[in-house]
Amino acid sequence: MEVIVAKTAGFCFGVRRAVDTVYEQIATAQKPVYTFGPIIHNEQVVADLEKKGVKVIETEEDLKGLTDAIVIIRSHGVGPHICRLLEEQGITIVDATCPFVKKIHRIVEEQKKDRRVIIVGNAEHPEVAGIRGWGDERTLVVETAEEIDNLPLSPGEKLCVVAQTTFNYNKFQDLVEKFEKKGYDILVLNTICNATQERQVEARRIASEVDAMIVIGGRHSSNTRKLYEICQKECKNTYFIQSLGDFNPECVNSVRSVGITAGASTPNQIIEEVHTNVRLKF
């Protein structure tokens, strides 16, 4: 049986940078280390960090209770009010925000002066929440074409459209086209990460060529969920797993070829374990 592993599978630059930052702090910090939210959407990595003493802070209220600590901002980034809150409490901030996300923060902060900012993405995702924090009361988030029809926009309004870095590129193009058809004065800035686009393109190609596709990643990972959706359209036998423990060999029992890809928060070790297991079983 042929097994094809995507070359783009696994940690992206921003995730690797964030994870490395936490381990560096573990080695050198003289005070308690926290992350605001899980550093990445991978349960195994978060569990390993917890064993080493890193605690996860989930809410702003919990942040207010900290004293004399280090708080690491994860790759998703945060709004400026979070940084102000920590600075007022004298907390040491270690910013591991992905540079590509930081770029969107700067764009939104600048464009909100002259245009209403529209963020294409999942409003519940921490990256989008952070981006929105750099906007103003007019800033809106959309994820579907139906939502565009219900936006409180005026005819001819000046808009700036940006995207969550892990958003599906084809869906982004479809939504932009809908905005353009409505006749708005629109500035479109494609802020989808190049690594995300490359990962999605490769996953689609592999899925179209194999009999079964395995997508590895955390259950809360937005970019992994999108990979799964893309692959499922190309290959009906697509399976979403978090680790080798979720893998059922029977799902690829009678196929001639299997493809494997993984989200940006999936360690190479997990990808290798799945790859090795598939090869050994067949």
What are the tokens at 19?
Answer: 């994870």
pLDDT at 248: 86
Residues 207 and 186: their CA atoms lie apart, in Å, by 35
Residue with tokens 């988030």: 141
Q: Do both 29 and 79 map to the same domain?
A: yes
Domain that holds residue 145: 100-188
Q: Do both 6 and 17 map to the same domain?
A: no
Q: Do both 106 and 183 map to the same domain?
A: yes
Active site residue 88: no
Looking at the structure of the chain, the number of domains it has is 3
Does residue 50 or residue 280 have the better pLDDT?
A: 50
What are the tokens at 208?
Answer: 């179209």
Q: Quick check: 163 pLDDT over 70?
A: yes
- Pick the last residue of a domain from 63, 82, 97: 97
261-271 confidence digits (pLDDT tens): 999 999 999 99
Residues 77 and 274: their CA atoms lie apart, in Å, by 31
Query: Torsion angle, CA of 201/207/213/217, rounded to 10 degrees?
Result: 10
pLDDT at 249: 81
Q: Quick check: 279 pLDDT over 90?
A: no
- Pick the last residue of a domain from 70, 97, 124: 97
Q: Do both 263 and 220 map to the same domain?
A: yes
Q: Do both 37 and 19 map to the same domain?
A: yes
Marked catalytic residue, from 50, 127, 272, 273: 127
Q: Do both 104 and 24 map to the same domain?
A: no
Q: Quick check: 282 pLDDT over 70?
A: no
213-233 confidence digits (pLDDT tens): 999 998 888 899 999 999 999
Q: Do both 34 and 70 map to the same domain?
A: yes
Q: Do both 83 and 39 map to the same domain?
A: yes
Q: Do both 157 and 114 map to the same domain?
A: yes
Q: Quick check: 168 pLDDT over 80?
A: yes
pLDDT at 212: 95
Please give the distance of CA 113 from its chain centroid, rounded to a whole number. 27
pLDDT at 43: 87
92-139 confidence digits (pLDDT tens): 999 999 999 999 999 999 999 999 999 999 999 999 999 999 999 999
- Pick the last residue of a domain from 131, 159, 188: 188
Q: Do both 243 and 198 map to the same domain?
A: yes
pLDDT at 281: 64
Q: What is the CATH number of the domain that holds 86?
A: 3.40.50.11270
Q: Do both 176 and 106 map to the same domain?
A: yes
Q: Which helix (H) or strand (E) holds 260?
A: strand 257-262
Residue with tokens 């901030």: 93
Q: Quick check: 41 pLDDT over 90?
A: no
Q: What is the CATH number of the domain that holds 237?
A: 3.40.1010.20
User: Which burial class, exposed, middle or buried, applies to 27 when counting CB atoms under 10 A from its CB (0-12, 13-18, 19+)?
Assistant: exposed
